[in-house]
A = this chain, B = another copy of it.
């Protein structure tokens, strides 16, 4: 099953409160989805993910297709069982990684031939193959196979790419049979060109997907451009269906996305920077390896009540990073994900109480954002 309930719209912006219902549980929106690229959110157990309030995670079709391979996950009984996660999973289509990670891509109308970034072996993914893989993975929300065009790209390039992505989306829709258990989202492309975004959005909506994502943003363009294109695009998206902005996970990008009517987002940012010792706090980012924290026995963030902040000092976490102890990466990951998930919870609360922009402004002021 799949249902989206729009619970409330803000009066001060396009921010909206909603709920998605899937076979593996409910998701309150707007939501941030931690990324478990290779069937694990790096350093975390499923129980830890639940403890910090994760309602849904994302996993990557391209990576799982290469390793361990779809056959293994099929024999395991699907991705939920394989990785011991019983809440909703969203998988991407593999499109983004095929275009960003693999070598020697050859794009045809049929699909994309590429070489694995692991061993150089020749691989092929088409819209149908992407759906087949995702059907085997058994994720609750699956994505249509698309091309995430680079930035910058010419109007001519974007037009060709966007139109092929539309044709691929149609093929995905026709090929997807497991509709009771898995819900297919279409992806709106069109680069930074409004006319292209409008065509992509209108055509995708005409195909009547259960949800839509905005792809091809946060690919290197200035945030002002992203905001403008996003704002323009969401106006063409139906209010009755969830809207997902792909690849966005810093606090400001999440606020800006929600302000423009986005319900879902994902990014490796919080987990990746955590493993490098960068943590998010209410007063901005902090590089915990810095010597100034050597004798600082306060928590990472005084306002945070995550497991890390309740139990460990900056000095201890700095020591762990300083001597390359894995527990340091674990504690920073728990903190960063909790920070974002709690922020999203506060955002939902602010929409419910209709003070979203006020909350955003307060957060920005403290965090140091303009």
A312 interfacial contact with B, CB 8 Å: yes
A295 interfacial contact with B, CB 8 Å: yes
A327 nearest CB neighbor, chain B only: B40
- Name the B residues within 8 Å of A38 (CB-CB): 319, 323, 325
Residue-wise, chain A 297-316 has the 8 Å CB interface mask toward B (1 for contact) of 10000000000000111011
Cβ A316 vs Cβ B39 within 8 A: yes
Cβ B67 vs Cβ A315 within 8 A: no
Cβ B42 vs Cβ A319 within 8 A: no
Residue-wise, chain A 26-47 has the 8 Å CB interface mask toward B (1 for contact) of 0000000000001110111100
Cβ B84 vs Cβ A319 within 8 A: no
Contact of A329 among B45, B84, B323, B326 (CB under 8 A): B326
Cβ B319 vs Cβ A68 within 8 A: yes
A227 interfacial contact with B, CB 8 Å: no
In A314-359, which residues have CB < 8 Å from any B CB? 315-316, 318-320, 322-323, 325-327, 329-330
Bound Cα distance A44, B39 (Å): 21
Cβ B45 vs Cβ A327 within 8 A: yes
Bound Cα distance A359, B67 (Å): 42
Of the listed stretches A14-22, A75-83, A151-159, A218-226, chain B binds A75-83
| Residues of chain A whose beta carbon lies under 8 Å from any beta carbon of chain B | 38-40, 42-45, 63, 67-68, 72, 75-76, 82-84, 294-295, 297, 311-313, 315-316, 318-320, 322-323, 325-327, 329-330
- Sample 11 A-B pairs with CB under 8 A, ordered by A number: A42-B325, A44-B327, A45-B330, A63-B323, A68-B294, A75-B297, A75-B315, A76-B313, A76-B315, A84-B311, A84-B312
Cβ A75 vs Cβ B327 within 8 A: no
A82 nearest CB neighbor, chain B only: B316
- Name the B residues within 8 Å of A295 (CB-CB): 72, 75
- Name the B residues within 8 Å of A322 (CB-CB): 67-68
- Name the B residues within 8 Å of A313 (CB-CB): 76, 82
Cβ B45 vs Cβ A319 within 8 A: no
- Apart from A72-B294, A72-B315, A72-B319, what are 14 other A-B pairs with CB-CB below 8 Å? A38-B325, A39-B319, A42-B325, A42-B326, A42-B327, A45-B330, A63-B323, A67-B322, A72-B295, A76-B315, A76-B316, A82-B315, A84-B311, A326-B330
